[in-house]
Each structure stands twice: as structure tokens, then as C-alpha cells.
Structure 1
Amino acid sequence: MGLLVAVSNLTTVPWDNDPTGQTIATLTDDTAVTFDTASGARALDEAGTYRVEERAVELTVRRDGTQVGSPREVAVDADADSTWRGSGSGADQTQTITVLIRAPIGASGARPGVVFMHGAGFGTAYNSFGDVAATLASAGFVTAVIDKPVWSTSDITRDYPASARVYDAAIDLLRGLDDVDAAKVGIYATSESTWISQYLLADDPQVAFQILLSPMVFPPRQSLGFFISQDFALVGANDGYQSIVRRVFNADTALFGMTNFDLDLPESSAYSIPTLVAYGSKDVMTAQVEGVKRILVEAHRAGNWDVTVRSYPVANHVLRLGDEAETGTKFADQYVDDLTSWAAGTVAGLKQTSERVAGDVIYQSIAVPDDLQARRALTVYGAILHAGTVLLLLATAVAWLAALARRIRFRLRRANRGVRYPGLGFRHGFGNALVTLAVTTMATLLLFCSGLGQVIMGVVRLAWGAAPDEEPGVMWWSWPVIQIVCTLVVWAWSRVFARLIEVAVERGILAWPPREGSIRGVVTGAEPVLASTRFGRVLFWLTAAAMLHVLFLFAFWGLFIY
């Protein structure tokens, strides 16, 4: 018990949530963005001014950013779109990407442009940003939505610099169009893509402006650590489950080829252009107060004072009023109108007359955990422990299945002969104790997985805009129950081993020197301590080792901190 408690404490990662409840007071609750149009400037186009036409272009791009061949005009057909068509490997790997371009019909002169950048997941040109891209196009912008550049990567291995080069290729495509003003092409980046946009602006300082929706300002380790820690609390998870967050986000993921946790983001140029930052008051994923402060500091350091911040009440991480997983979920009331006005006034070079920081009070529940770091020793120990536990559990399951098959086979062969099944030969009640403790330990493991699974599902639903359950259920009461059961299991195992020692003493095995013939009697099964069969003895020690690893697994995740 002392060893398990020691492991739990030694693997604990310190975490400071202070200061909590940070706020930035906005200057007005009116989010409208207005400009000075009195001095002879033409009135700005509004949403709905123009009808919109669509056309599609295909690009084939390597991960190093070079294009294969020329852009190809294709038919606009969402049903015919085959996304993520890739080939090759490494830097030479290519992906054929659809670019869906929306343009205003009848707009005179060269128009400003916007390229949309995807958040997490696997968005396509046809299923992403349709409403806001069409709105901007109806206000005179030429917009481009592309298939998310992913190649053969996953969410945790995404190649952000390479993605930035593909988005830049889409920007160059717009710049090359006759009806687009090449000097007035900006970006619309949301969530995960606000990491990519930083690489993009470092590569292409000619981007005219940027709209950042719920920007992930800090590197992934800090941003995701904040998000998960905050959401574990919001869904009602027991505080004990927070220890899991601490250990996970201090993992040295580079050992497993996942280097995105610790991105070296090029912040010096990330906010050097006119910037609109938009948050929802019910966004449970971003550190808004510290994020706004960091953006303003970096923007001012780069000589940019054209930063506008808007906070929308009730809106979630993607500025929707509810669960985005549900079809037809609307944007926050004035968000699309506000960003359209801001973009139109910005590209026209007008002076903004509305407040720079407006809308709902900007709030942040806990501090960004900037002390998170890759802890290699903890990661190596955890990886070995988990791998060993899985292997032992699989071996134990195979052994018990073999025991069951052995019993069935014997009964089938001896059914008509009246011969009694000899069993595994367990003695002194060790067989019953083994089954009882193994079942209890595994039931506790299932309860742990159930509680953690409910927490994870609650966090996912919260991230998509759903409200947490009124009663947290298993995720709350499972932790203390597991702690109590684990203590009882350790005590019960100690009773089994104490009885094992007593029997061994009776057999003379633990005497010095051992009683003559005692060891031979145990090995041959003539005077068994555990079981008279070799298979029974192997099964016992294999099961005991697996259950011990499960207990150390619990200790690693902090279940033995009382």
C-alpha cells in the first residue's frame, strides 16, 4: 500500500490554476463595427448587395508547397467531390484539393478576397463555411474555401507549416484572378487553423487582413491543457480525474513521433496586420482573457494598432448558438454582419469609429498552464507500465480461456465414463480467492474506464455547444468508490499472500536450510502450496502479476492519493 501511495505521489504533476475568474470589461455591449464614411468615401457594400455565383478549381499540391501542374476548372458538384486524393509519401506526397470560389455577380472593379482556413477535423470545400462565405461574397468579396490539406496525417500529426503553404497557394490563386485586387486578399481562420495562420503570415507578409474566430493563441500543450482541464470541471468530473489531465499534458509526445504539442509558433508576425478577433461567451475551449492580452502585446510589438475584439453572448467556440453537430445551428445574432462590416471597412482603408473591444464581458475561468512541459521519465515509465499491463491482461485472458477450454474438452471426453474433472488443482482456497480478487480488480478497472469515458464524452458534447448534464453521475462518484475498493483489494491480496507464506512455512520451504524434499514436493505437485498442477500454478502467478499491474496503473493516474 505504501508503494502504491508513493507511486501516485511521485507521478503527480503540480498545476497552478491561479488566477481564476479573470475578466476584461468591454467598452460597450454593442458589437456593431462602423467606419467614418462622411468624407466623400462611397458607402460600403452590405450583405445581400449582390447575387453570388460559384465555380470550382482543382489544385494538386505537395507537402513542400509546390504545385503539380496548373489549376484546373471543374464542375461545381458536391456529390461528385472526392476529397483527400493523395499519393506518394514524405515531402513529395501530393493531395488534390478542390477550391470552391464564390464571387459577386455584377460587382465592378477588382474585388477584395478572403481564403477560409479550417479548424480541427476534416472539412471540405463543400461542407465548410458555406453560410459566411456566401454572405461575404454577397457583400462584394471573392471567397475561396478549400478541402482541408491533410495528406496522410491525423489531427495529432498535422503538418502545420505544410498546411500554411497550401492555404498560401489558394491565396495566390485568388490574387491571380482578373476580378480580385491582389493587394486586398485576407484570411478567415478558426480554432486550430489560427496556429497555421501564424506560419502563413510568416511566409506571406502580404496578406491584407485576418479574421480570427476563437483563436488558439498559445502552443497546443498549453492551449489544450487549459481546454481539457477547464472542461473536466465544467462537466462535473470528480477532482481526481484532473490528475489524469496533468499527467497527459506533461507527456513527452515527441517519443511517439507527435511533435505538434510544442510548436515554436512565429508570433512576431502573427498579428502584424489588421485583425478582427471574435469569441463566444460560452466558448469552453479558448483562454480568452490571456489570449486577448497576448494578441494585443504581439500586435503592438509589431507596430499594429488595428486590432478589434468582439465577444458574443450565448455563442460557443464556433460562434454558433447551440450544438454545431446539429444541422442548421445559427451564428450569433450579429456576428456575420459585424465581420462583413469590419472586412469591408478595413479593405476600403476607412477609419473605424466603433469601439475596439465590445460585446459581452470577456471571461476566463483558470490560468493558462504555461508551466506544462515534456517530462520524459514520467512518459517512459507510463508507457512501459501501460504496455506491460495490456500484455499481461491479454496473456491472462488467454490462460483463463485455455483453462475453460480444457474443462469443456475434459467433460466432453469423460461425460459417459463418470470421471470427475480434476480441475486446476488449487489448494487451501487459493483458487476461489484468485477468482474473487481478479473479478473485483477487473470490475474496478471497468468502473474507472466507465467514469473516464463519461468525462470524455461530456467534454466532447460541451465542445460542440451542448450543455453539461445536471447530474454528473458516474464521473463524480466513481473516483472515491474506486479508491475505497482499491484499498480493500490490496488488503485482500495481502491476506492471500500471508496465507501463501503460512502454507510455505508448513511445507518447510521457508526454513533454512529448506526441509529435505520440500521444494521437490512443491515442484512435482506432491505437496503443493498453491496448486497440484503446473498449469494452475502458472495461471495463479500470471493472474496475480496482471492484477498487480492494474493496481500500479491506478497508482500512476493518482488513485492512491488520499
Structure 2
Amino acid sequence: MKRRMAVVSNSGASADGRSQWSAGRRLAVSLPIFIVMVGLLVSISNLTTVPWDNNPTGQTIETLTSDTAVTFAADETKGVSADTAGNAALDQAGTYEVSKRAVVLEVARDGTLVGSPHEVAVDENGDVSQQTPDNSTDTGSGTGDSDGVTQHITVLIREPVGAQGKHPGMVFLHGAGYGTAYNSFGDVAETLASAGFVTAVPDKPVWNTSDVTRDYPASARAYDAVVGLLRDSGNVDADKVGLYATSESSWIAQYVVDSDRRIAFQVLLSPMVFTPRQSLGFFVSQDFALVGANEGYQSIVRRVFNSDAALVGLHNFDLDLPETTAYRVPTLVAYGSKDVMTAQVEGAKRILTKAHEAGNWDVTIRSYPIANHVLRLGDESQSGTQFADDYLKDLTAWASGTALGLQQTSERVAGSTIYQSIAVPDELRPRTAMTAYGLILHVDTVLLLVITAVMWLVALGRRVRWRWGGRSRGASGRRSGNDPLGFTHGFGNALVTLSITTLATLLLFGAGLAQVILAVMRLDWGAAPDEEPGMIWWSWPVIQVVCTVVVWAWSRVFARLIEVAVDRGILAWPPRAGAIRSVVSGSKPVLASTRFARVLFWLTFAAMLHVLFVFAFWGLFIY
């Protein structure tokens, strides 16, 4: 009896059952809990941190002249005389009228044709290509139908009217998105055709793939089928068919040039030279910095591009590109000074190195001031944007002179200074353990949030019924006071407050990240970044402060649970007689008098803790 009375006395409870813990004792219990929780979250942030070296920064290549004009020496043996300036007199844009015809191919993913190509009527209403950028993501209408195994690809062929003999050909390879024969490359294809080329713009071969599951080798085989279509045309010189590739399709062009040894030349517009992991990691990291995103948001990029995407069936991050043969043909590389997506300095160096290793010294590089990623002036997201000054003229001259086999007399590297802000992240690699942990964490978090939301909807229904009924009873049949769920000692209110705060912080995190992504998209389309970054800067430290406060509040809640448990005799050794039974039955609850409320509390706590773990995974507790 004396022993039991001693335990009650040590619990700190007064005769009326109220806790007599001092503020200092509560702090002494809360502080270690807070330190352990913060330490765990900081450890997760550190364990998921990946190395990232932006050096060297501010790389440049000084061009030999600002004049981007491409000229060739006249060659009477090839029927090319000199113009008034002493250069080769080449066919200019507008020399010929242009006719169009459309051909449909059914192409399997292995590159084989199903049936024979057949001509169809040109859809004049669908030909909006001269009003849209070259890498338009518009899906168009009535073209590119696919059953996942084969795809019907419409090829829009433009031909010079009245030109004699056989002509060089150009096949266009689409950039990102779902461009069609009718909404892509119209102005440049029309220009080249009016200068004597036969051009072919196909629907983008995608089959049943998406932007992140694109089958690049299969796409290369489909484009090569279009090359074969041109070669079989009676008015095309089969040994003078080249490629025009933009951005993403420069990866595909490498496969085409490697497999088809008859490709005569290639034009690479803002080429993605390195693997997708490196190229995308570079441009997203650079753009996050350019728009003024907080370093914390920038750290998200590092984790994303160090992920092992193969775990979820995405195998394009680390393409085995055939670089040794990709640049063996005469190549024109064109950049825009406002392009914020391409590693121009290291890319140009890589192309030159690989071309020279393949024995090709016929590489021409042009950099155009003010132009964006697709060599347009202005916002790429808007239709009708024009090409950079002289680009079409220079392109036509280079393609014509190269197809004729003339000797180039203009400088190989010309235009504005080529600039690159940060280094290509060569250290990127798939981190399987980190990726697996991140996937499990995020899936568990979503499931817990869904289950918790359902539980809270049930709780809301009980509260509504309680209000209408005037009272609520717990599992034992006793009234639960003013809380219809049976929470005691203010735990219900604390749970609601902390849950709302944590979820509000999660929404702020999502909104901040969304703002960064929108700012990057505007930048990529050619818009200037805002002078003041605003939310994309201040939201990160605000989230950090709020999360720290939430962790402290949770530590206080657990300290209060310990306090009540001590008062109830649960934490005494041995436990006070009948203490456990009274807590389980709800007659003297620590947390709540109902089983439902106790399950709701711990489920909600687990969900909110997982949200904090998600924040920690993305580096919130170290940046």
C-alpha cells in the first residue's frame, strides 16, 4: 500500500487528478524529443544530398567573326559560277515555286513498312506549319494514328516547281512534343524547297510512347524510312539526302547517321549533345538558377537527375549514344544566344572533337544574337515568331553549297560569342538506394494521406451527428464531454491545428515549386526572368521555419502524452493497478476515450510525419 501511494505521489498528479508538472519539467521532456525528431529529419536530408559541381562557370567561345554568312568558292566543273562578290552563285530562297504532296506510311517500331506508301490529298486546312515554331507540341488532327504496334505517318513533301534534274533532299526530325507534318517546320521546309531542295516533314513517330518513354532508336528507324521514301523519288539525288534535327531529335539523328551510311549532311539546331540525364540536368539546373529560385529548390533538381529512373520503367536517361559516328558527315550547328536549354560551349567542343575523331573537318557553327532555343525571336510559346536574322539565308546557302560539294570560304565559327553559364554535370549517375527509398516514401505518404482524409471525413460525420443529436457517447457508453470523438486533454484540437499547419506547408511547398517550373517554362520560351524572384525565393525559408515550429509543436504534444501517462500511472513500474485497463476501456483515457479517436490520432500523426520525411527527402532541413 505504501509502495502504491509512492508511485502516485511520484506521478506528479494532485488529489483532484490534475498534473502538477512545472514548465521546466515539460521543457525537459519536450526538448530531447524535438532534438531527436529534427536530428532524424536533418539526417535524411543529408543522406539524400548528391554532389553537384557547377564549375567551370561562365565558359565562352569567341567567334572568328560576327558575320554569320556562309559562302563557298565557285566551281565551274560543277556548273557553279561566281557571283558579283566572287562567291559561288547558289540558288536562293524564292528561286522556284513550291508544290506539295502528302504520302502516308505505316511504320512498325522496328522500322519496317507495312504495305506500300500511298499518296493522299494534302489537307490545306491542316497546313498551319508556317505559323507555329519548329518544335511545336500541337498534336494536330487526323495524322499520326497509332495502335501501339504500327503508326500511320503522314509525310508532307515540298518540291521545287520547274527545277531540272535531280535535287538534294532534307528530312526533318521533330523536337519535343507531338508535332505533325502539318504543324511543324513549314517556313524552313518551304524556304529550302524554293531554293531547289525536296523536303519531307513527317508526323513525329511516337507509337504508344510518351515524352518520357520515347523510343529513340525506333524513331530513328522511322525517320530513315522517310529518307528512303525521298531516295525513291524520281527527282531526288539518293546520295544527297540530309537531316534537319532540332533539340531532342539531335539524339535521334545520331542513330540515323550511325545506321545509314548514305546520309549526306545534317543540320543540328540547338542540339542536345550529351545524354538526356546530363543534358536535361544541365538545362533544368541552369534555368532554376537563372529565374532566381532558392537554392533549396535547386537541390531538388540534383535529386531528380540522380534518380534511377529504370526502377519505374524509364530507360531514356542514360542512352548509349553512337557518338563515334554521329558527326562523320558535314554538319551545321546553330545556336541562339538566348537559348537557356543547351550546353553550347561544351556541346560545340564535343561535336568538333567527335567529328575530328571520325575524320570529318567539315563542321560549321553559327551563333545568332537574341534568338531562343529554336532560333526564333521572341516568345517561343506564341505562334508566328520569326527566325533570327539571316538564319534561313545562311542555312540555305550552307545546305546548297554542301550538297554540291563546294569548298566553304566563310569562317567555320561565326556570329555572337557562344556562352555557357555552368558546366555539364558529368557526375550524374543513377542512385538506386535513394530512388527506392524516395519511391516507397512518396507512395506511403500518398496512401496515408488518403486513408487519413477518409478517417477525418468519418470524424466530421460523427461531429455533425453529435451536434444534431446534442451529445456523443464513447465506446464505453460514457459521455465524451465537449469532444464528440472522445479526445481528452486538448489532444483533438492540437491534432487538428498541427495537421492543418503541416498540410498548408505542403501546399506552400507545391505552390513554390509550381511557380519555379512556370518561371522556367517562360524562360525557355524566350521571356526574360522577373527582376524580383518573389515566392520562388522566400517560400523555401518560410517552409523551413514553419516545419521547425511544427516539429517543436509535435514534441510538445508527445511531452503532454507522457505527462498524462505518468499521471495515469501507465509509466510507473510496475504500472499502477488497473491503470492499463482504465486507459484501454476509456474510463480514464490518456489520449481519447474512444478507439476511433486513438486510431485517428496515430494515423494522422503517421501521415504528417511522412510529410515531414518528404520535406527532408528533398533537402528542406539542410538548405
Normalising by the residue count of structure 2, what TM-score does the alignment of the two structures yield?
A: 0.88
Question: Greater CA deviation, 401-410 or 379-388?
Answer: 401-410
Q: Which residue of 1 aligns with 2:91?
A: 45
Q: Distance in 2 between matches of 1:327 and 1:157?
A: 27
Q: Which residue of 2 aligns with 1:137?
A: 193
C-alpha displacement of 1:472: 1.3
Q: Distance in 1 between matches of 2:207 and 2:389?
A: 36
C-alpha displacement of 1:420: 8.6
Q: Which residue of 2 aligns with 1:102?
A: 158
Give 2:345's match in structure 1, choosing from 275, 289, 294: 289
Give 1:544's match in structure 2, choosing from 605, 610, 615: 605
Q: Which residue of 2 aligns with 1:405?
A: 461
Q: Distance in 2 between matches of 1:199 and 1:517?
A: 77
C-alpha displacement of 1:470: 2.1
Give 2:533's match in structure 1, choosing from 457, 461, 472: 472
Q: Is the 1:410–1:421 contact (alpha carbons within 8 Å) kept by the matching residues of 2? A: no
Q: Is the 1:425–1:531 contact (alpha carbons within 8 Å) kept by the matching residues of 2? A: yes
Give 1:313's match in structure 2, choosing from 338, 363, 369: 369
Question: Residue 82 in 1 paired to residue 142 in 2?
Answer: yes
Question: Residue 439 in 1 paired to residue 500 in 2?
Answer: yes
Alignment partner of 2:526: what SS? Answer: coil
C-alpha displacement of 1:414: 5.4
- Gapped runs of 5+ residues in structure 2? 1-37, 82-88, 127-140, 472-479
Q: Which residue of 1 aligns with 2:320?
A: 264
Q: Which residue of 1 aligns with 2:9?
A: none
- Gapped runs of 5+ residues in structure 1? none
Alignment of 1:94-173 (within 5 A): 94-173=150-229
Per-residue CA distance 1:294-318 (angstroms, 9 max, x = gap): 0000000000000000000000100
**Higher alpha-carbon Rg:** 2
C-alpha displacement of 1:253: 0.3
Q: Is the 2:75–2:406 contact (alpha carbons within 8 Å) kept by the matching residues of 1? A: no
Question: Residue 23 in 1 paired to residue 60 in 2?
Answer: yes
Question: Residue 522 in 1 paired to residue 583 in 2?
Answer: yes
Q: Over aligned residues, Cα RMSD in angstroms? A: 1.4
Question: Residue 556 in 1 paired to residue 617 in 2?
Answer: yes
Q: Which residue of 2 aligns with 1:185?
A: 241
Q: Which residue of 1 aligns with 2:51?
A: 14
Q: Which residue of 1 aligns with 2:287?
A: 231
C-alpha displacement of 1:523: 1.0
Give 1:353's match in structure 2, choosing from 387, 406, 409: 409
C-alpha displacement of 1:421: 7.1
Q: Distance in 1 between matches of 2:523 and 2:217?
A: 30
Q: Distance in 2 between matches of 1:511 and 1:391?
A: 37
Q: Distance in 1 between matches of 2:483 and 2:415?
A: 78
Q: Is the 1:407–1:421 contact (alpha carbons within 8 Å) kept by the matching residues of 2? A: no
Per-residue CA distance 1:438-496 (angstroms, 9 max, x = gap): 11111111111110000011111111112222221111100111111111111111001
Q: Distance in 2 between matches of 1:130 and 1:528?
A: 75
Q: Distance in 1 between matches of 2:205 and 2:389?
A: 31
Alignment partner of 1:262: what SS? Answer: coil
What one-letter code is carried by the residue in structure 2 that aligns with 1:290?
E
Q: Is the 1:214–1:280 contact (alpha carbons within 8 Å) kept by the matching residues of 2? A: yes
What one-letter code is carried by the residue in structure 2 that aligns with 1:468?
P
Q: Distance in 1 between matches of 2:201 and 2:358?
A: 29
Alignment of 1:322-401 (within 5 A): 322-401=378-457
Q: Which residue of 2 aligns with 1:300?
A: 356
Question: Residue 3 in 1 paired to residue 40 in 2?
Answer: yes
Alignment partner of 2:430: what SS? Answer: coil
C-alpha displacement of 1:38: 5.8
Question: Residue 61 in 1 paired to residue 107 in 2?
Answer: yes
Normalising by the residue count of structure 1, what TM-score does the alignment of the two structures yield?
A: 0.97
Q: Is the 1:411–1:421 contact (alpha carbons within 8 Å) kept by the matching residues of 2? A: no
C-alpha displacement of 1:79: 4.6
Per-residue CA distance 1:191-248 (angstroms, 9 max, x = gap): 0000001111111011000000000000000000001000001111011111100100
Question: Residue 498 in 1 paired to residue 559 in 2?
Answer: yes
Q: Distance in 2 between matches of 1:134 and 1:190?
A: 17
Alignment partner of 1:284: what SS? Answer: coil
Q: Distance in 2 between matches of 1:174 and 1:384?
A: 50
Give aligned-pair identity as a percent: 73
Question: Greater CA deviation, 480-489 or 116-125?
Answer: 480-489
Question: Greater CA deviation, 39-48 or 341-350?
Answer: 39-48
